[in-house]
Structure 1
Amino acid sequence: MTVDRERTRAAIVELIDAWGLAGDPRLERTADRVADASAELLAGEGVDPVPALREGRIPAADDDLVLVRNIRFSSICEHHLLPFDGWIHVAYLPGDWITGFGRIHDLVATCTARLALQERIGEQLVDALITGLDARGALAVVEARQDCVAARGPKQRDSDSVSVAARGTLVAGEARAEVFRLIALGAAEHGAEHGADDQREEML
């Protein structure tokens, strides 16, 4: 999908006018900035992440669990057009194929650079791993802080939300439990290194 920059700019000008702020010198370049940012923020719209995973497939030497933790992300809520951000943890049990870790980061970038819901991001990630890598199982944990909750409505700035999506052999069982154990371990280590509190580990 290609963002129409001029229409986006015109829409922001109209929005500023609708808010009663037309001519405000603080907002002189706001419409241009939003139009430019939109191309980056929505770069994943309409992009199928599966072909990139298939192109990056490597024959698997074994069928051991693969987990990529603490992938930072940001996205735009489709309900209020407000940002949300946090961490994503992605795990899969390979079949015949694995992929480079960079491809997993690219997968997350594609699935989050679009209008989204937190729960749907996880679903898209695990579906792509199952389809693109023929994985036996896939699981994604998405931890986020929602600006639509923090800045309006209940105004709960410290509230996190956690969603889990799983397919195949990671829907239940010992392998799934091991994923959560490793994610919690990583959260504890991450918190100790960066002086964060223990909320992330407790939520998992």
Structure 2
Amino acid sequence: MTSNGHTNGNGTLPLALSAEDNDLVLPGQGKLEGMTFASNDQIEAAVSTILTNIGEDPAREGLQRTPYRVAKMYAELTAGYHVDPVALINDAIFSVDYDEMVLVKDIDFYSLCEHHMLPFMGRVHVAYIPNGKVIGLSKIPRIVETYARRLQVQERMTVEIANFINDALHPQGVAVVAEGVHMCSVMRGVKKANAKMVTSAMRGVFRKDARTRAEFMSHIDHD
């Protein structure tokens, strides 16, 4: 029995774990750590044009290096385009005699909304039930980060994370829930600072078996 009164189908506990200047990155590399980010002349020119057209002076002291900084920022925030998720995990899949739920929850993420290029951020919870294979603990947050650090919509990001883990491990099931706060609805438009978006993607037994899905949801329930 878990602390909130839920167990796996056979009465055992799940394995629950809580996540705690060079050239632009090269395509196909297998990690985000250690990347360095360069500016881009075309992005710098575009930012300078934006500053001019909103009535600012790109030459004034506080803005002189803003185009450079913004260009480097976008290289960093979209670095997920340049990471091969297969290379990311290819040395961290292990055979194991374990067929209960593995849960990594409270994985912090940030991303950019593809509609307004404003940030959205929050937490992702990922669970799977192995089918003879498990993945190294650190790889799941890195998978999340790889798909988050792109221009995204939260719905697609959630599905991409679930599909990748499902294809990589062929588990009995995968569950992903993302909770996000979107600056495009906080700072503009409806201006609802407390609105939170929740998206989910269920595969295998999490989609077919209501008890398994309910157990997963009970573990990530923060209320």
TM over 0.5: yes
For structure 1, the 5+ residue unaligned runs are 188-200
Task: Report the Cα distance in structure 2 between the residues aligned to 1:49 and 1:178, rounded to whole angstroms.
Answer: 28
For structure 2, the 5+ residue unaligned runs are 1-24, 27-37
Deviations 1:33-72 (A, max 9, x none): 1111122101101544234234310112211111101001
1:6 to 41, 45, 62: 41
Aligned residue identity for 1:179: F
Deviations 1:148-180 (A, max 9, x none): 000000100111111111111111421111100
Give yes or no for contact 2:130–2:173 (8 Å, CA) kept in 1: yes
Say which SS state the counterpart of residue 42 (structure 2) adopts: helix
Task: Report the Cα distance in structure 2 between the residues aligned to 1:46 and 1:126, rounded to whole angstroms.
Answer: 20
Give yes or no for contact 1:50–1:131 (8 Å, CA) kept in 2: no
Are 1:179 and 2:216 counterparts? yes
Are 1:113 and 2:133 counterparts? no
Partner of 2:132: 96
Partner of 2:3: none
Partner of 2:51: 16
Are 1:164 and 2:222 counterparts? no
Say which SS state the counterpart of residue 144 (structure 1) adopts: strand
Partner of 2:35: none
Task: Report the Cα distance in structure 2 between the residues aligned to 1:120 and 1:85, rounded to whole angstroms.
Answer: 14
Say which SS state the counterpart of residue 97 (structure 2) adopts: coil
Partner of 1:154: 190
Say which SS state the counterpart of residue 56 (structure 2) adopts: coil
Aligned residue identity for 1:170: F
Aligned residue identity for 1:102: S
Aligned residues: 186
Are 1:31 and 2:82 counterparts? no
Return the TM-score normalized by structure 1. Answer: 0.85
Flag the structure with higher helix content: 1
Say which SS state the counterpart of residue 148 (structure 1) adopts: helix
Are 1:86 and 2:122 counterparts? yes
Return the TM-score normalized by structure 2. Answer: 0.78
Task: Report the Cα distance in structure 2 between the residues aligned to 1:66 and 1:43, rounded to whole angstroms.
Answer: 28
Identity %: 34
Are 1:132 and 2:142 counterparts? no
Say which SS state the counterpart of residue 63 (structure 1) adopts: coil
Say which SS state the counterpart of residue 170 (structure 1) adopts: helix
